[in-house]
């Protein structure tokens, strides 16, 4: 089905930009948002009235609601609401301050919530829609040095899973997009914030960044058709791995977890007790 109307956060670069252009190229309409609306000027110049460019800092709930409302008024409906804005905090659990962690959550979690909460009444009124959120394979597994980023994706996953159960009777679908490693601008200075370092973790970080550098990365320009298949599906998946490396890693992680739970099940069960 063509002719969908999208609302996309973080549309100035990376996946957000690529997916916005793919939607527009096939004839869809897009409300593209970014903190700096000038970064979207080329989209407006090329696609004219098919695209609405809006300034949006997702950490400002009032601005999120205003952008969602303006997009809905401009196009008359919203079919797909895609939360893509986010960044990673680089720092070990000991290094990062509470304020730095809170700031990341303001974007990665509360920013997405502001958009979702603004869109839900409109989607209910029109009888349906599709909420998508860009998570990560790190919503299932973790790495050192970016543990707080991983934690935001675990929270992101849980919120969307609960949301899917809460809104399905309204005809609203939910999909969590879980990219693996891709050669996007996510590693840019704008997408990474660094906590002050401690010398004791220098060797760990050197090893970690060396592994990241050597990691095979996917081509982000290969992703649009897969995403479009998901949004066009009559019954889209709640979770959707993007890329070929995710499933083996996640499968291994869950096999290890299940084996550990099984190993300790007798002890776990002994703690059940019986309430008389």
Residue positions annotated with a catalytic role: 135, 149, 153
Q: Are strands 29-34 and 51-55 parallel, antiparallel or unpaired?
A: parallel
Give the C-alpha separation, 137 to 248, whole Å. Answer: 11
Give the C-alpha separation, 140 to 158, whole Å. Answer: 11
């Amino acid at each position: 089905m063509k002719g969908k109307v999208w609302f996309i956060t973080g549309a100035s670069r990376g996946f957000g930009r690529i997916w916005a252009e793919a939607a527009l190229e096939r004839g869809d309409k897009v409300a593209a948002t970014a903190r700096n609306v000038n970064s979207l000027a080329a989209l407006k110049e090329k696609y004219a009235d098919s695209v609405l460019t809006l300034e949006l800092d997702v950490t400002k709930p009032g601005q999120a609601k205003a952008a969602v409302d303006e997009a809905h008024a401009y196009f008359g409906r919203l079919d797909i609401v895609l939360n893509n804005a986010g960044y990673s905090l680089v720092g070990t659990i000991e290094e990062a301050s509470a304020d730095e962690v809170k700031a990341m959550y303001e974007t990665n979690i509360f920013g997405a919530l502001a958009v979702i909460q603004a869109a839900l009444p409109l989607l209910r009124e029109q009888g349906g829609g599709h909420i998508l959120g860009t998570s990560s394979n790190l919503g299932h597994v973790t790495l050192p040095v970016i543990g707080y980023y991983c934690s935001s994706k675990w929270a992101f996953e849980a919120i969307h899973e609960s949301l899917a159960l809460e809104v399905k009777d309204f005809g609203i679908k939910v999909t969590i997009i879980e990219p693996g490693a891709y050669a996007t601008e996510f590693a840019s200075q704008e997408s990474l914030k660094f906590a002050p370092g401690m010398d004791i973790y220098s060797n760990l970080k050197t090893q970690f960044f060396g592994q990241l550098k050597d990691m095979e990365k996917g081509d982000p320009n290969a992703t649009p058709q897969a995403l479009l298949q998901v949004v066009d599906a009559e019954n889209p998946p709640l979770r959707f791995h993007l890329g070929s490396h995710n499933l083996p890693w996640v499968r291994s992680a869950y096999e290890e977890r299940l084996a550990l739970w099984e190993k300790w099940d007798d002890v776990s069960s002994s703690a059940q007790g019986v309430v008389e």
